[in-house]
Amino acid sequence: MQNKGILHDSKVLVTGGAGFIGSNIIERLLMQNNKVVCLDNFSTGKRENVDPFLHDSNFTLIEGDIRDLGTCRKACEGIEIVLHEAALGSVPRSINDPITTNAVNIGGFLNMIVAARDAKVKRFVYAASSSTYGDSKTLPKVEENIGKPLSPYAITKYVDELYAGIFGSLYGMSTVGLRYFNVFGKRQDPESAYAAVFPKFIKALINHKSPVIYGDGEQSRDFTYIDNVIQANELAATTTNPEAENSVFNVAFGESNSLNDLTSELVAYLSEFDKEIANVKIEYGPERLGDIRDSLASIEKAKRILGYNPQYNVHQGLKHAIEWYYEYLK
């Protein structure tokens, strides 16, 4: 294992590596002299996200599906650390198609953790989700207190946590779960029908179209910039603290903002590039099924056990993200 929270000189498998989070993680790992295997079926990931890595001799791309156990076993050959990012995201998508969400997020997860167990990987780090908190009204969200899930997606991500815990206790695996809170940043897809709020709104505003806020806009979120998530994955992969074993941690900044406030901030930042954006009106629609009202993470457990110290609040992250999107979408 590594020290000081920097993952280097290791052989790492990143599932879902062509996706938003996975490709950002891979970019960092390759800079740190890791040998990186990317497994992706490109159902939601994009080839353009991994194209820059293809010339790197330390990078290997396996095009395949985590729903196939044989593919998972192949991907795990010789691997020391698995960073399992592959999943079918989006609460609305899971409501529209719970069967596929279940097959990927639970069946695929089980395939990956079995393959990792049999390959004797040193650590299995996986993307969990703040959706696990469900209908819990308590703020901030503390890892040990969750509510009832509000969507099929939330159920799948909670089941993954249960499987990881069982594989730790039954088979002696070392697992760490990271409950992501509303991650955003460069390479987050604005084109998808299930695009996250920031890329979707940025794209609309750049095109002088009205973004739609579902509900009254006073719902709040703990938005987390991608670089904080990269840090958390490295720390989870390298920690030697026994308290981290088979545990789950919130990954957030620990600060909550309303969608109304952040949309106003988006408009202000983008207007620096194009003054006409200041005149675009914001529209409101009905609340979406399965959405939680407010989200705010306690990150004390991750700070204490992993040494997590997020460097970017939502305002700093937005400035970085907007600069990237403005070039990307022009």
Q: Quote the percentage of the chain above a pLDDT of 90.
A: 85
Among 153, 269, 308, 325, the active-site one is 153
Give 49-89 pLDDT, tens digit per residue: 999 999 999 999 999 999 999 999 999 999 999 999 999 98
Residue 5 is predicted with a pLDDT of 82
Give 106-130 pLDDT, tens digit per residue: 999 999 999 999 999 999 999 999 9
pLDDT higher than threshold 80 for residue 329? no
Residue 195 is predicted with a pLDDT of 66
Give 25-47 pLDDT, tens digit per residue: 999 999 999 999 999 999 999 99
Active site residue 153: yes
Residue 1 is predicted with a pLDDT of 42
Residue 79 is predicted with a pLDDT of 98
Give 211-241 pLDDT, tens digit per residue: 999 989 999 999 999 999 999 999 999 999 9
* Domains of the chain as residue ranges with CATH: 11-184+226-254+296-311 (3.40.50.720)
* Averaged pLDDT score across all residues of the chain: 94
Give 151-201 pLDDT, tens digit per residue: 999 999 999 999 999 999 999 999 999 999 999 999 998 877 666 888 889
Residue 292 is predicted with a pLDDT of 75
Average pLDDT value for residue range 287-291:
79
- Give the chain as a 3 state SS string: CCCCCCCCCCEEEEECCCCHHHHHHHHHHHHCCCEEEEEECCCCCCHHHHHHHCCCCCEEEEECCCCCHHHHHHHHCCCCEEEECCCCCCHHHHHHCHHHHHHHHHHHHHHHHHHHHHCCCCEEEEEEEHHHHCCCCCCCECCCCCCCCCCHHHHHHHHHHHHHHHHHHHHCCCEEEEEECCEECCCCCCCCCCCCHHHHHHHHHHCCCCCEEECCCCCEECCEEHHHHHHHHHHHHHCCCHHHCCEEEEECCCCCEEHHHHHHHHHHHHHCCCHHHHHCCCEEECCCCCCCCECCECCHHHHHHHCCCCCCCHHHHHHHHHHHHHHHHC
pLDDT higher than threshold 60 for residue 17? yes
